[in-house]
A = this chain, B = another copy of it.
Amino acid sequence: MSASIEAWAEQIRAGDVRAVSRAITAIEDHDPQAEDLLQRIFPDTGRSFVIGVTGAPGTGKSTLVDRLAAYYRGQGNRVGIIAVDPTSPYTGGAILGDRIRMQGHASDPGIFIRSMATRGFLGGLAQTTGDVALILDAAGKQYVLVETVGVGQDEVEIVRLADCTLVLLVPGMGDDVQNMKAGLMEIADIFVLNKSDREGVERLEAELEAMLQLAPERDGWKPAILRTVATENKGVEELASAIATYRERFGNNEARQERKIDHWRSRLLALAGEAVLKLAVSGADGEAALDRLAREVASRGKDPYAAVRELLARSAGTRKSA
């Protein structure tokens, strides 16, 4: 490992904003240096408290995250925000979003905000987000807030990464909310009824309570339900206090440890898969082989399984000669 990587790691440990930004870009770009860097800072991680914030579009996640970050900042903590936005690869919208949101915190080096794009054909969003969280962790952020849209496989992975997961709901959000709620039930440590000045909040809370009655208690925790109006900063302090209670009771219990181990189990598998595929399609040769095989399969000239056997034979060959 080169001296420059160690210097870079040292800047990250010191919380240097540019070094952190550069590291995140390297992770997103699948720059090989990122791996060296992550390996180097790994022993300095595991200290941040990671809060996942999820909910459908329109539930006000960004505003709530901003307010919660400001609250923690006000308590003297350093805060990192990772906004995972699956729409960004198409729009560049993430960057614009950063700029707008940064304005509120621009003069404060204690809050670091980064929106994630889903770049690259491998690795996936959850993987990248996990690596970015490690960087912020090493950079000394006491709180890392990870904001994700909706529920999907990526979200589930991101939730495994979080120490505490908030699920946002809003009164009167249309037909499918019933379904969404059921799916979110299992991942929520705390439910946040945002925009709670809207009509229907009583009914929503009653429905949620009824569902929670039926759900099995997880490790003695019944998800708390809190009301907020993030745009008016209402309920944010109470929310922070509920998070603190959760942390106190579950921050280091066995179930929490198991969740972290689960998280690492899938991270390791994903990393291993990525490493193998890098070998299989490494170099211009590899890309050409993959392209040829994809064309053969698309034209039904070869079945996918035969094509995969060819790819893997390539990977084994590359590894042997490496």
Contact = CB atoms under 8 A, between A and B. Distances in A.
Interface of A: 35, 38-39, 42-43, 45-46, 56-58, 60, 85-91, 93, 97, 118, 121-122, 124-125, 149-156, 170, 173-177, 179-180, 182-187, 257, 260-269, 271-277, 280-281, 290-291, 293-295, 297-298, 300, 303-308, 311-312, 315-316, 319
Given A57-B180, A91-B182, 4 more contacts: A43-B300, A87-B151, A125-B153, A264-B304
Contact of A179 (B46, B57, B125): B57
Nearest to A84: B152
14 contacts: A35-B305, A42-B303, A56-B56, A56-B57, A86-B155, A88-B183, A257-B298, A262-B294, A263-B298, A269-B281, A272-B312, A275-B312, A276-B276, A316-B316
B304 A174 contact: no
Specify how many copies of this chain sit in the oligomer.
Answer: 2
B150 A150 contact: yes
Residue of A91, A180, A272, A307 most packed against chain B (CB within 10 A):
A272
B272 A315 contact: yes
A273 to B, nearest CB: 4
Given A87-B182, A152-B152, A276-B276, A290 B265 contact: yes
Interface of A is mostly: helix
Contacts of A266: 121
Given A152-B149, A264-B294, A183 B93 contact: yes
A148 to B, nearest CB: 9
A124 B152 contact: no
Contacts of A274: 273
Contact of A305 (B38, B152, B173, B281): B38
A293 B271 CA distance: 13
Contacts of A97: 179
A39 B272 contact: no
A266 to B, nearest CB: 6
A197 to B, nearest CB: 15
A159 B294 CA distance: 17
B272 A175 contact: no
- What 3 A-B pairs are tightest by C-beta distance, nearest first? A87-B183, A58-B174, A57-B176
B86 A268 contact: no
A182 B89 CA distance: 10
Nearest to A300: B46
Given A58-B177, A183-B93, A304-B271, A153 B154 contact: yes
Residue of A151, A186, A269, A307 most packed against chain B (CB within 10 A):
A269
B308 A271 contact: yes
B57 A268 contact: no
Contacts of A290: 265, 268-269
A295 to B, nearest CB: 5
